[in-house]
């Protein structure tokens, strides 16, 4: 029986008002842990709606860009305060439409609030500098200016924190924004925009469009859009990059990962297993920094494997709101099928399914998009499962014989987002930190998780690489630098 009580139909937020969408296609969002539960209906927007959102942002830009950055930061402080006060409600929305556990969702809300507070504080640290001149009486000033309208395109896997870490530095820097969030998690995006409205952010500064991804191309080509920031798949990211390049528009892309955890012969095996479990199964493996490959030294490979299989079997799968559940479903049937297909291909190419590998059986499991926590042994670097991003709860084990081989295998993929090493050996630590080709390298930590005061971004096909997200460095993407010469003679 379908649950339909109090189902919302979402609207766009344009120029400070909630307005009906103009499209005719209707999208239904269902709880991925119980597809009988209808969460929200989305009547899709069309090109006219997208045009209106961009025009509202364009109109608001001149006044907003003149607002002092400390005053812009005050709005962010208000947004963060509301997020923290309503963390439970927001977390429940995330669980309901995305499927992650309540603990993970609640953590995301507070992480997102921390991001917003960090950039609120940056409002009082927006500085230029003076450069010494060759001529007396001439002053040279380096000054940051906002770009204009920024198109923000975000994914479903972190439906609150990723919009927050893009929008906060964008508007703090004086830009105005149009958010096109994932169609999989529109209710979380709307909740965030409702908070922006309640915080008193002026009309047109932040606009939200609920609609399909096909609208993005025309939005990129709108002359008022000066920059595009996107997190998602490499396929879509490459399309965005090519489209934006036609007018040489600024682009920031954060895309896939194939993140290795190196477990050396001197590692604490029990600790390494816990890091692999947290990195591989946290968020149901649906994170770009998820631990997808574990490169284990041959001397401890069997012990590590046995303990990882044992720990994987203890994962409790189910609805993220149920007590004791430690892993929820995948977000959609398409994502689940993609994971199952890669598992099947790994087996066909010679991998051994040591645990999991299919759809779990428990009361209600047939109503959700569940996949068993899966460990695959005997993986070789040339296998598909060792090269392609899975984006599901799958850990591949690759045996290595030395730190040289570990680093070589770690780098033998198209991606370079995150990596970690488990070791007590300082030489191993330093070699990993210096030689692994990834934007983030950690020692005795998970491949997942970032601190918002530090920059985030990858190498190779994981990122455009020119700019970073998070940290003070993120502001650089949203600003252009002007050199001002002043002759006072």
Give 340-390 pLDDT, tens digit per residue: 999 999 999 999 999 999 999 999 999 999 999 999 999 999 999 999 999
The whole-number average pLDDT for the span 425-451 is: 97
Catalytic residue of the set 254, 335, 372, 389: 254
Query: Is the pLDDT at 391 greater than 70, yes or no?
Result: yes
- For the chain, give the mean pLDDT: 96
Beta strands in 26-101 (DSSP E): 26-31, 34-43
Structure tokens at 471: 């940290």
Angle at which helices 102-122 and 87-98 pack, to 10 degrees?
120
In the prediction, which pLDDT does 9 show? 83
Predicted pLDDT at 5: 46
| DSSP class of 201 | P
CA distance 117 to 137: 40
Encoding tokens for residue 182? Answer: 């994932």
CA 461 to chain CA centroid, nearest Å: 15
Query: How far apart are the C-alpha atoms of 184 and 207, rounded to whole Å?
Result: 19
Q: What three-state secondary structure class fits 258?
A: coil
- 231 pLDDT tier (thresholds 50, 70, 90): very high
- Concerning whether 254 is annotated as a catalytic residue, the answer is yes
pLDDT at 7: 66
> How sure is the predictor about 8, in pLDDT bands with cuts at 50, 70 and 90?
confident
Nearest to 108 by CA among 450, 401, 418: 450
Does the pTM surpass 0.75? The reply is yes
pLDDT tens sequence across 282-315: 999 999 999 999 999 999 999 999 999 999 999 9
With a CB cutoff of 8 Å and minimum separation 6, the contacts of 344 are none
Give the three-class secondary structure for 232: coil
Do the beta carbons of residue 458 and residue 257 sit within 8 Å?
yes
Rounded to an integer, the average pLDDT of 45-63 is 97
Confidence of residue 6 (pLDDT cuts 50, 70, 90): low
Q: Sorting pLDDT into bands at 50, 70 and 90, what band is 208? A: very high
Q: How confident is the model at residue 147 (pLDDT cuts 50, 70, 90)?
A: very high
């Amino acid at each position: 029986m379908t649950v339909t009580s109090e189902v919302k139909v979402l609207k766009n937020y344009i120029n400070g008002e909630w307005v009906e969408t103009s499209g005719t296609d209707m999208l239904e969002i269902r709880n991925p842990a119980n597809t009988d539960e209808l969460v929200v209906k989305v009547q899709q927007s069309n090109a006219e709606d997208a045009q209106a959102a961009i025009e509202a942002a364009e109109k608001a830009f001149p006044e907003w860009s003149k607002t002092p950055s400390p005053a812009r930061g005050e709005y962010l402080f208000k947004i963060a305060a509301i997020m923290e006060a309503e963390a439970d409600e927001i977390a429940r929305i995330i669980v309901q439409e995305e499927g992650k556990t309540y603990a993970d969702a609640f953590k995301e809300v507070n992480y997102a609030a921390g991001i917003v507070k960090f950039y609120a504080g940056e409002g009082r640290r927006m500085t230029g500098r003076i450069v010494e001149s060759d001529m007396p009486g001439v002053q040279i000033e380096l000054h940051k200016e906002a770009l204009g309208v920024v198109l923000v395109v975000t994914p479903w896997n972190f439906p609150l924190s990723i919009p927050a870490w893009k929008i906060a530095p964008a508007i703090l820097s004086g830009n105005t924004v149009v958010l096109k969030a994932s169609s999989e998690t529109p209710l979380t995006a709307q909740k965030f925009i409702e908070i922006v409205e309640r915080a008193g952010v002026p009309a047109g500064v932040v606009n939200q469009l609920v609609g399909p991804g096909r609208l993005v191309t025309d939005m990129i080509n709108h002359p008022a859009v000066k920059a595009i920031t996107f997190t998602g798949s490499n396929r879509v990211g490459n399309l965005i990059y090519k489209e934006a390049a036609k007018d040489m528009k600024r682009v920031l892309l954060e895309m896939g990962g194939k993140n290795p955890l190196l477990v050396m012969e001197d590692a604490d095996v029990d600790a390494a297993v816990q890091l692999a479990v947290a990195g591989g199964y946290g968020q149901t493996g649906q994170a770009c920094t998820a631990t997808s490959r574990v490169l284990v030294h041959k001397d401890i490979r069997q012990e590590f494997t046995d303990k990882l299989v044992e720990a994987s079997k203890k994962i409790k799968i189910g609805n993220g709101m149920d007590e004791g559940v430690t892993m929820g479903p995948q977000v959609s049937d398409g994502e689940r099928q993609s994971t199952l297909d890669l598992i099947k291909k790994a087996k066909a190419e010679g991998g051994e399914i040591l645990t999991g590998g299919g759809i779990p059986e428990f009361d209600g499991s047939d109503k959700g998009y569940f996949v068993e926590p899966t460990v695959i042994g005997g993986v070789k670097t040339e296998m598909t499962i060792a090269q392609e991003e899975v984006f599901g709860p799958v850990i591949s084990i690759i045996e290595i014989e030395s730190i040289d081989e570990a680093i070589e295998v770690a780098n033998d993929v198209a991606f370079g987002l995150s990596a970690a090493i488990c070791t007590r050996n300082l030489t191993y630590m330093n070699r990993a930190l210096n030689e692994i080709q990834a934007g983030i390298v950690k020692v005795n930590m998970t491949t997942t998780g970032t601190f918002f005061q530090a920059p985030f971004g990858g190498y190779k096909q994981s990122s455009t690489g020119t700019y970073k997200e998070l940290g003070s460095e993120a502001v650089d993407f949203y600003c252009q630098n002007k050199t001002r010469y002043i002759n006072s003679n």
